[in-house]
Amino acid sequence: MIELALEKSLFGPEGKMKLAVSCQIGKGELVGIYGPSGAGKSSILRLISGLMKPEGGLLKVDGEVWYSNVETVNLKPTKRNIGMVFQEHSLFPNMSIAENLEFALSKGQPPQIVQDLLERVGLKKLASKKPSVLSGGQKQRVALARAMIRKPKILLLDEPFSALDMKMRAKLQEYLVQFHNEYGLTTLLVSHDASEISRMAQRVLVMENGKFSFDGEPRHFFQS
Amino acid sequence: MKCNGKAFLLLLGLMFFYQLTWAQKEKSVLVAAASDLKFALDSIILVFNQEKEITVKPIYGSSGKLYEQLSNRAPFHIFMSADVRYPELLAEKGLTASEIYVYGVGRLVLWSRKYDVKDLGMEAFQQPWVKKVAIANPDHAPYGKRAVESLAFYGWQEKLAPLLVKGENISQAAQFVATGAADLGMIALSLALSPTMKKYQSSYYLIPESSHSPLVQGAVVTSHGESSPESYAFMAFLKGEKAIGIFRYFGFSQPSN
Amino acid sequence: MDFSPFYLTLRLALFTTGILFLIGIPLAYWLAFSRLRIKYVVEAIVSLPLVLPPTVLGFYLLLFFSPENPMGGFLDRYFDLRLVFTFPGLVLASVIYSLPFMVQPLRSGFTGIPKAWIDTTQTLGKGRWVTLSRVMLPNMKSALLTAGVLSFAHTVGEFGVVLMVGGNIPDETRVIAVAIYNEVEAMNYGQANTYSLILIGFSFLVLLITYWLNRDKSRVLSYD
């Protein structure tokens, strides 16, 4: 499903770091990306989504070339059908949560999808409220729902639940897994929470200094 | 705020529409007039409007500045200059549409708000209370130019140079001395005779004509006014008895030839 | 009493502000988001009217657009358009003169938009226009208000440029600042005083309303 081999120079607190990663991810996999801060985890997601431009390599998704150095292809993020959830929920404060979801609709999509998704995450009653009155957990639920509106092929999450308390986190992890299964997504979850990855992912990519130092089952890594 | 934006655009559109259509329809006569005519012309226009319903709008300034603007095709219909040389220059440029009419000769006077300078004459400059002397800018105001000529004639120009305060036009010079910002002023007789100035000081000293070139005033219809019959109508009025009477009241003498 | 200078000034300020919004938003957007290296040159040009005395602008406008000179003559002959001694000429002069007052607050507004929002709209497949109109501008109300009011007020206070390129023509270019100057020159102090007091009153009212509105809108742009 996802075939990537990408390079990028990053500038972190430790100075310059060369990110060089390559892997293949199959359709329907839920992969965790784990590693210390500054290892480049978020950058991978930004590279895949197109928000950051690689310096070289290849990115192929479902047979479509999204980035290729050789063929000079670089598909704009707007043209890549992905769902993304950030750590800071980035809901638009000037819109109600229903409007936030409506904003995500593509041309031709029936507006009913908004209501359905709101109901799915249990927030239908708060549809007309602005994000500022919602709790952190509620906001992330909206963000997750919004990422689902366009029925993306890939879901990228960058430490989406780390700002939430245990109970909320568990609830949201549940939603995530449900969405992953229902929509047949290929999901990449960046997290620094080992238990989160162990619980949800069948595979973990561990990043160290811009490279994958481990690629395999979570229990094999986290036991040691 | 979205509807605010739309409302604003609507307002803008309406204004634009107004600007393009209605705003242009007024037919008024714009008279570019030397500042010494401030009171005289205002009176003439009042009397003119008793006879004719034509709107006349005066724009006062120094003759030189008005000439510059007219050279750049400023939209004035009539030019009334304190120095006939300017209308003559305009005619040379082909920007006039009538004969030049000399409506009078102006006079330069010495005037002070606090003191009666009539008897002091040019000795007024010697007075200890004279710290600032107001004149019009000699570069583009005829009265200013004559003031400098006069000072040179009496040999005062070097001594007084540091005391001189130059107004943008003779009216502003008069204002400087009327407010007391300047102690003494070389201003137009027509302004000294106005009710506004007389209120402060009714006395003045007529500076001898021999000390400077004459202030022959001239009026002309400009090429912009050519297509406006209203302009010619007003010009005709300026030549008439009533206007002449007003000019005389404000101290303009009739030209000797 | 003759109120025409007020109406004229109001019309001038409204027109100028309207046009400045149309020009200013794209320009400020470009300055905020472009990474072109010559950007600083454009910034300097836009800010010029702040440091130059208005007489400089007036002088060059007079020179350039006088019908006696090539450009002005061209406009006059082929378009019957005069940009000196006319209201349109004043609008042009005001637009140039007040440009930095529109662009700078707008630019600050744009750079104040959290990058995460822009990332989000991109991952949701929305283009720049949608992002601008539905996410950025609605969340920049304070900047829009400041830019509009400053430009408006600056235009109302214009004197030097108007004097040079206006010609002091009643109902055409005799704006309130010039009218007051006129009345003082003609020693009509009563009239000058009346005009001035009305102007102070009006300006104060506008500023009062602006700051009151801005107080309401001063939201902290972070979450929770």
Q: How confident is the model at residue A15 (pLDDT cuts 50, 70, 90)?
A: confident
Bridge partners, B60 (sequence order):
B33
Residue A92: strand pairing partners: none
- From chain B, pick out residues whose CB is under 8 angstroms from the CB of C172: 75
Question: With contacts defined as CB-CB under 8 Å, which chain A residues touch C114?
Answer: 88, 90
Mean pLDDT of C28-34: 95
**Residue contact A93–C219, C-beta within 8 A:** yes
Segment A66-80 mean pLDDT: 88
Closest CA of chain C from A134, distance in Å: 8
- Indicate yes or no: CB of A84 within 8 angstroms of CB of C123: yes
ipTM of the complex as predicted: 0.89
Scanning chain B, the segments in alpha helix (DSSP H) are 2-20, 38-51, 63-71, 85-92, 142-153, 157-160, 170-178, 189-192, 195-198, 229-239, 241-249
Chain C residues with CB under 8 Å of A132 CB are 219
Residue count (chain C): 224
Residues in B touching C14 (Cβ below 8 Å): 11-12, 15
Of B87, B126, B121, B114, nearest to B103 by C-alpha is B87
Query: A79 and C116: CB-CB below 8 Å?
Result: no
For all residues of chain A together, what is the average pLDDT? 90
At B153, the pLDDT band (50, 70, 90 cuts) reads very high
**How big is chain A by its Cα radius of gyration, in Å?**
17
CB contact under 8 A, C125 and A106: yes
CA distances B165 to B177, B190, B224, Å, are 10, 20, 35
Share of chain C above pLDDT 70, in %: 96
- In degrees and rounded to multiples of 5, residue B79 shows phi and psi of -120, 120
Asked whether the predicted pLDDT for residue B174 surpasses 90, the reply is yes
Nearest CA in chain B to C188: B196
Q: Residue A103 and residue C121: Cα distance in Å, rounded?
A: 9
Q: Is A74 exposed, middle or buried (0-12, 13-18, 19+ CB in 10 A)?
A: middle
Query: What is the number of other CB atoms lying within 10 angstroms of the CB of residue B220?
Result: 25
**Which other chains touch chain A, taking contact as 3+ CB pairs less than 8 Å apart?**
C
Give strand pairing partners of B80. Answer: B33, B219
Name the residue type at position A134. Answer: L
CA–CA distance, A210 with C176 (Å, rounded to integer): 66
Integer Cα distance of C90 and C88 in angstroms = 5
User: What does the block give as tokens for B64?
Assistant: 């030189």
pLDDT digit string, tens, across residues C111-141 = 999 999 999 999 999 999 999 999 999 999 9
pLDDT tens string C55-90: 999 999 988 898 888 888 888 888 888 888 999 999
* pLDDT (tens digit per residue) in A159-183: 999 888 889 999 999 999 999 999 9
Q: Which CB contacts under 8 angstroms, 24+ apart, belong to C138-141?
A: C138/A94, C138/B1, C138/B2, C139/A92, C139/A93, C139/A94, C139/C113, C139/C221, C140/C106, C140/C109, C140/C110, C140/C112, C140/C113, C141/B1, C141/C217
Position C209, amino acid: I
Contacts of A131 in chain C (CB under 8 A): 223
How far does Cα B104 stand from its chain's mean position?
Answer: 13
Which tokens is C30 given?
Answer: 């470009």
Q: Which has the closest alpha carbon to A43: A20, A76, A73?
A: A20
Per-residue confidence band for A209, with pLDDT thresholds at 50, 70 and 90: confident
Phi-psi region of C130 (alpha: psi -120 to 50; beta: other; left: phi over 0): alpha
Torsion over CA: B70, B76, B77, B81 (sign): negative
Does the beta carbon of A79 lie under 8 angstroms from any beta carbon of chain C? yes
Whether B167 shows a pLDDT value over 70: the answer reads yes
Give the H/E segment covering residue C45. helix C39-51
Range list of H helices, C112-188: 115-123, 128-130, 141-156, 160-166, 176-185
Mean pLDDT value across residues A123-127: 91
pLDDT for position A221: 85
DSSP type of residue B182? S
Asked if the Cβ–Cβ distance from A78 to C219 is below 8 Å, we say no
What's the pLDDT score for residue B176? 93
Q: Give yes or no for A169 touching C (CB within 8 A).
A: no
- pLDDT confidence tier of residue B111, bands split at 50, 70 and 90: very high
Tokens, residue C159: 């004197």
3-state class (DSSP) for residue B22: helix
